[in-house]
Amino acid sequence: MNMNMNAKRKSMLSVGIVKRALIDSFIKCNPLIMVKNPVMFVVEVGTFVVLLMILFPSYFGTQDKIGFNIAVFFILLFTVLFANFAEALAEGRGKAQADSLKKTKQEIMANKLVGGALITIPSTELLKGDIVIVAQGEMIPSDGEVIEGLASVDESAITGESAPVIKEAGGDFSSVTGGTRVVSDQITVRITSDPGHTFIDVMIALVEGAKRQKTPNEIALNTLLVSLTLIFLIVVVTLAPMADYLGIKLDILVLISLLVCLIPTTIGGLLSAIGIAGMDRVTRFNVLAMSGKAVEAAGDIDTMILDKTGTITFGNRMASEFIPVGDSTVESVAQWAAISSLKDETPEGRSVLELVKKEGFTFTIEVADKAQFVEFKAETRMSGMDLQNGQKIRKGAVDSVKSWVSGNGGMIPEDLDEKGNKIASAGGTPLAVAVDNVIVGLIYLKDTVKPGMRERFDQLRKMGIKTIMCTGDNPLTAATIASEAGVDDFIAESKPEDKIAVIKKEQAAGKLVAMTGDGTNDAPALAQADVGLAMNSGTTAAKEAANMVDLDSDPSKIIEVVAIGKQLLMTRGALTTFSIANDIAKYFAIIPAMFMVAIPQLKILNVMALGSPMSAILSALIFNAIIIPLLIPLAMKGVSYKPMSSAKLLSRNLLVYGLGGIITPFIGIKFIDLFVHLWV
């Protein structure tokens, strides 16, 4: 299942995709398919009527215009085919990715644990809740969570990245995906998906567009296009009897040409392709969007909730110093910190033991024999050990440890807050270490802000997006990091319910909110947010709650996702503006051509000085047809996006695509007419 996303980013199209799109262009001419796009369906009906006029010229009285009719027929046919080609081309890349996954998807044999014994069964027979053991060199048979052990896993089949990642029991990096390979060690995995519902199956369905639903904005725009089409259809149908009343004879072919040029065929032909390409851009960026609605919502985001660790900072908070408080010594702090971390498998816990070893401190490891490990919880914000001799050791946030010690009748050292604040003001995180009712010292954890974050937040500010940093750190540390990174606001000592509260508060003010997360405790907030980006390395609960999954597990990618969402909205808006604007020029080509012979005074409207009524009609139709394939690259790639206010963005679009949409057809139709007039 090797789907190298990086290679796919480099190549926008391939010969195979283009060939497949050409074939699909004809298949999509099926009226049952075309009716889903009302604008182009009207063009197809017009094409069929022109075909009847060619086949039965005597019935329609067009024996003397066979050549002209044939020319119009092929122009209209190509208009329909070009619109179908745009949609097929956008779908093609997703289908190619899906085919790649399907071809290489293989049945994996799994070592299922049953009653203490291992039995080998096909992966397709695994059910949710089954326990399997995966050793070095073996493929993980299905999606699951590591419940025992630690292993290095090659996820290149999913992410395209060759570097293996560490998966371990507990914590936020326990989720594994079927089809990935264990590079080292052995893990015990609890299966979390039934056959046909694995992450790979979801990827196949999404990238091939099987589950693509139109977004609210797309539906609204489609409704507008249908309304305009109906209005112009009524205008054209009523125009014939009105002209007859005035003694003006209008050919059916001219009326069909007028209708095709009046209705918004350009955006009608490209609308679906824009939506599909928008989702595809997110996919090629290694983000799996569960719906087009999520991508579109990203473009309308007003507030972004960001975790500090791993998003704004590198997330590698490592113990760098032991600081005693009260009457304790550095050796004492190091000893109890090490004992409290013996069974702590978090990066911070491991870094404590590494620092003890590095600094040459010693401790009696036998003290921890048969001790009970107290896991870290978001509610308590502490972890530790309950020793067999009755001693209780706790390590965690200063305020939490202070409350725990006070609850046990202990005293708080006078220099604790001063030394803790000093660490926090330097941008570090202080962890207090306590033994029973005595706080012996602090562990200084260091973390650093990722380079360029201030500039990126400045860009978001220019977009009108408010950034809020959530962190479990104390207010001083949070304020220091927030100031250094340049976020608009922060929430210190935050708990899972705090994230939900701030999301609901922003949503109550009518704002759309985005956030990232990877842990089970992030799942409620990810579900509540309008755009929830879960990390692929995170837990199954987080991925199920979110509407986007980042295969690279880069929390800061939410910033790029928002930019892609805005680019999607901009592309749709820009091409809609261009489409409606270029209709104006077509009016100046078609309308004078229709009435100049009967009403010579209308010749003044022929500002382009087109050669003849027939050449004017053909030139307008040809331009109407070729503008669709010319705009396909822009629809696929998207309009270039630069962070700016909505007012500036609107002014820019009106200038570039509004004015450009008016000028381009005048030039294009006149240029085409120079050649068509010679033939006509």
DSSP at 135: -
Number of Cβ atoms within 10 Å of the Cβ of 16: 11
58 is in an annotated binding site: no
143 labeled part of a ligand binding site: no
Q: Is 28 annotated as a binding residue?
A: no
What residue has token string 């046990």? Answer: 408
The response to whether 454 counts as a known ligand-binding position is: no
Task: Report the alpha-carbon distance of residue 78 to residue 70 in Å, rounded.
Answer: 12
Ligand-binding annotation for 377, yes or no, is yes
Contact 442, 280 (CB under 8 A): no
- For residues 160 and 6, the answer to whether their CB atoms sit within 8 Å is yes
397: nearest Cα among 467, 471, 474: 474
Is 154 annotated as belonging to a binding site?
no
Q: Is 554 labeled as ligand-binding?
A: no
395 is in an annotated binding site: yes
Cα–Cα separations (whole angstroms), residue 292 to 36, 170, 224, 278, 295: 18, 33, 19, 8, 5
Residues 152-185, buried b or exposed e (16+ Cβ, 10 A)?
Answer: bbbbbbbbbbeebbebbbebbbbbbbbbbbbeeb
Separation CA 669–CA 343 (nearest Å): 76
Would you call 307 a catalytic residue per the annotation?
yes
Listed in sequence order, the residues at least 6 apart from 387 whose beta carbon sits closer than 8 Å to its beta carbon are: 339, 367, 368, 371, 393
Alpha helices in 426-550 (DSSP H): 453-462, 475-485, 496-508, 523-528, 540-545
Q: Is 344 annotated as a binding residue?
A: yes
Q: Taking a C-beta distance cutoff of 8 angstroms, is the pair 188, 146 a contact?
A: yes
Q: Is 648 annotated as a binding residue?
A: no
What is the full DSSP assignment across 384-414? EEE-TTS-EEEEEEHHHHHHHHHHTT-B--T
The catalytic position among 130, 143, 307, 552 is 307
Helix H or strand E segment including 529: none
**DSSP single-letter state for residue 313:** B
Is 518 annotated as belonging to a binding site? yes
| ∠ CA 551-556-560, rounded to 5° | 80
| CB atoms inside a 10 Å sphere around CB 438 | 19
> Would you say 281 is a known binding-site residue?
no
Please say whether the beta carbons of 561 and 306 come within 8 A. Answer: no
Residues recorded for the chain: 680
- C-beta of residue 248 within 8 angstroms of C-beta of residue 254: no
The span from the CA of 674 to the CA of 278, in Å, is 38
How far, in Å, CA of 54 to CA of 42, rounded? 19
Which three-class secondary structure state does DSSP give residue 1?
A: coil
Q: Is 348 annotated as a binding residue?
A: yes
- Residues labelled catalytic: 307
Which residues make up each annotated binding site for ATP?
Answer: 344, 348, 376-383, 395
Show binding-site residues: 344, 348, 376-383, 395, 518, 522
Binding residues for Mg(2+), as ranges, are: 518, 522
